[in-house]
């Protein structure tokens, strides 16, 4: 769109209107980053005698519901040699039950104008349906059936195995960053539950048997390891009645978790991966606490100031001014156990990797020694607050946030505590907390570098 310049003639009436608008602005309370408030969704929860839990978030604005079932199991629960089994089982959940042939679930949901999908994470697996509210009983019956009556047919398992292997090739092995990141993360967290990614190692995908999958299903897909969340045009009494009808007779399972231990890192580590790329990548991995620790919010703000915002230190100093990196970014992976943060930057060429690393270290040290400015802090804090608050405007998004806090920590109100924590957070605290977790002796430096063939860098 072209910029257009407009000319205005201010008469006495216009001036008077502007004066009152200006006066109104002066009299209104000033909204700052510290005053952002959360409108908490109204919900009810209940539990069946077998331990199965339900959360209901009514919103009658449109005649639709989202029906989600979360299982408290994911990649971190997997045994050595069976990595990727959570994701493998997720695929099998769409291949039919003793009562419904393959494809029937999809057909039933499509016939009512709905949709369904699923996702596997490091610490949970979930399935959801978005359907008209009149079909609540249908989706509850379908998920109740899948919880107890899944079929394990060798031919179907092996067919799906090939699908998953191809998915791994596309997402990991044919993607330079993903392939390098997987190797670097495995080195950083060797021997721990964080060593492998959700999709698992190819060798394990090949070796997981039908019996392994069935045992895993029977161990974790039980009512006392599940949380059902219904949001939208629904009444809690209707959910209670159908929950009793379809789930109350299911027996609990004895849940056996592997030991979760992440050794404290006290010395800096470094790992290099040579791959077929012309662009190098530099990754910095750090251990962080579980997601119920409110300090993680301070780390998120620190990472925005350092690497994520368009005005961040790395983008301003290393990218725009010095021209030694092409881009930068940072992520936190929040889990129910100790997890990790990733900061990455892309050196402009392979010859600048060391120089870019040194410049990165200087920028971090500068923040640790001199702090962050009030402007940097206010911008990052306000953006972060807004993103959190706005994410809860949608009832389905809000329900998901409260459900995960319930599933992981039995604390659905954790989100409200997080908002309050951020409101009271100071820029000095952000720096102190960043120093606590992002010191050099607590990181793994990883580099994805171009292959050197015949003494020549490719």
Quick one: DSSP state of residue 78? P
pLDDT at 54: 98
pLDDT at 185: 98
Give me 293's structure tokens: 């620790």
- Quick one: pLDDT band at residue 454, thresholds 50, 70, 90? low
The pLDDT of 79-85, averaged and rounded, is 97
CB 149 within 8 A of CB 99: yes
**Is domain 269-450 classified as CATH 4.10.320.10?**
no
pLDDT at 180: 98
The pLDDT of 152-159, averaged and rounded, is 96
Residue 206: count other Cβ atoms within 10 Å of its Cβ. Answer: 9
Place of tokens 């989100």: 415
The pLDDT of 144-157, averaged and rounded, is 96
The pLDDT of 96-121, averaged and rounded, is 95
Give me 22's structure tokens: 């200006």
With a cut of 80, say whether residue 26 has pLDDT above it. Answer: no
pLDDT at 392: 86
User: Boundaries of CATH 3.30.830.10 in the chain?
Assistant: 44-248, 269-450
With a cut of 80, say whether residue 445 has pLDDT above it. Answer: yes
395-398 contacts, C-beta under 8 A, 24 or more apart: 395/41, 395/57, 395/59, 395/231, 395/232, 396/66, 396/231, 396/232, 398/41, 398/57, 398/231
Helix (H, G, I), strand (E, B) or coil at 202: helix
Quick one: DSSP state of residue 305? I
> pLDDT tens digit string along 312-340?
999 999 999 999 999 999 999 999 999 99
CB 250 within 8 A of CB 52: yes
With a cut of 60, say whether residue 67 has pLDDT above it. Answer: yes
With a cut of 70, say whether residue 12 has pLDDT above it. Answer: no
Percent of the chain with pLDDT over 90: 85
The pLDDT of 256-260, averaged and rounded, is 88
299 or 259, higher pLDDT: 299
With a cut of 60, say whether residue 275 has pLDDT above it. Answer: yes
pTM, rounded to two decimals: 0.89
pLDDT at 17: 35
- Quick one: pLDDT band at residue 4, thresholds 50, 70, 90? very low
The pLDDT of 162-166, averaged and rounded, is 98
- Quick one: pLDDT band at residue 456, thresholds 50, 70, 90? very low
With a cut of 70, say whether residue 146 has pLDDT above it. Answer: yes
Helix (H, G, I), strand (E, B) or coil at 199: coil
The pLDDT of 18-46, averaged and rounded, is 54
CB 322 within 8 A of CB 315: no
The pLDDT of 86-106, averaged and rounded, is 95
Cα(170)–Cα(165) distance, integer angstroms: 9
Comparing 32-36, 38-42, 285-289, the range with the smallest average pLDDT is 32-36
Cα(384)–Cα(304) distance, integer angstroms: 9
Instruction: Provide the CA 439 distance to its chain's centre, in angstroms.
Output: 24
- Quick one: pLDDT band at residue 36, thresholds 50, 70, 90? low
> pLDDT tens digit string along 359-406?
999 999 999 999 999 999 999 999 999 888 888 889 999 999 999 999
Q: How far is the first Cα of the chain from the last one, in angstroms, to the nearest whole number?
A: 43
Q: Which of 301, 367, 360 has its CA nearest to residue 327?
A: 360
Q: Which of 188, 434, 396 has its CA nearest to residue 302?
A: 434
259 or 86, higher pLDDT: 86
- What does the angle CA 406 – CA 230 – CA 84 come to, to the nearest 5 degrees? 60
Which CATH number is 44-248 given?
3.30.830.10
């Amino acid at each position: 769109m072209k910029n257009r310049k407009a000319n205005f003639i201010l008469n006495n009436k216009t001036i008077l209107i502007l004066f009152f608008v200006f006066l109104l602005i002066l009299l209104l309370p000033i909204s700052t980053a510290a005053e952002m408030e959360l409108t908490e969704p109204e919900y009810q929860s209940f539990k069946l005698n077998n331990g199965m839990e339900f959360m209901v978030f009514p919103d009658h604005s449109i005649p639709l519901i989202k029906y989600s079932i979360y299982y408290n199991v994911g990649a971190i629960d997997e045994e050595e040699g069976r990595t990727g089994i959570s994701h493998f089982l997720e695929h099998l959940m769409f291949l039919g039950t003793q009562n419904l042939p393959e494809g029937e679930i999809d057909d039933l949901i499509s016939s009512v104008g709905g949709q369904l999908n699923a996702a596997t994470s490091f610490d949970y697996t979930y399935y959801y349906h978005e359907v008209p509210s009149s079909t609540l009983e249908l989706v509850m019956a379908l998920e109740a059936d899948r919880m107890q009556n899944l079929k394990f047919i060798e031919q179907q398992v092996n067919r799906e195995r090939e699908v998953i292997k191809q998915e791994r090739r596309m997402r990991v092995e044919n993607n330079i960053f993903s392939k390098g990141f997987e190797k670097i993360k495995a080195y950083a967290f060797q021997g721990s539950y964080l060593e492998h990614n959700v999709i698992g190692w190819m060798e394990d995908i090949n070796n997981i048997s039908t019996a392994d999958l069935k045992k895993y299903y029977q161990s974790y897909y039980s009512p006392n390891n599940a949380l059902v969340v219904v949001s939208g045009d629904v009444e809690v009494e209707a959910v209670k009645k159908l929950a009793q009808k379809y789930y109350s007779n299911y027996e609990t399972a004895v849940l056996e978790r592997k030991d979760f231990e992440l050794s404290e890192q006290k010395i800096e580590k470094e790992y290099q991966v040579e791959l077929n790329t012309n662009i190098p990548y530099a990754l910095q991995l750090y251990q962080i606490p579980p997601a119920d620790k409110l300090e993680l919010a301070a780390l998120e703000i620190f990472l925005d100031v350092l690497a994520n915002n368009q005005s961040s230190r790395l983008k301003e100093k290393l990218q725009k001014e010095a021209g030694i990196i092409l881009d930068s970014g940072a992520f936190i992976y929040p889990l129910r156990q100790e997890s990790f943060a990733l900061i990455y930057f892309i050196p402009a060429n392979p010859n600048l990797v060391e120089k870019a690393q040194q410049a990165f270290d200087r920028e971090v040290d500068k923040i640790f020694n001199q702090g962050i400015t009030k402007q940097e802090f206010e911008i990052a804090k306000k953006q972060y607050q807004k993103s959190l608050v706005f994410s809860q405007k949608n009832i389905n998004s809000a329900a998901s946030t409260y459900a995960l806090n319930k599933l992981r920590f039995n604390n659905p109100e954790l989100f409200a505590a997080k908002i309050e924590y951020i409101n009271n957070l100071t820029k000095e605290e952000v720096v102190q907390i960043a120093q606590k977790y992002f010191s050099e002796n607590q990181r793994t430096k990883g580099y994805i570098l171009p292959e050197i063939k015949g003494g020549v860098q490719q």
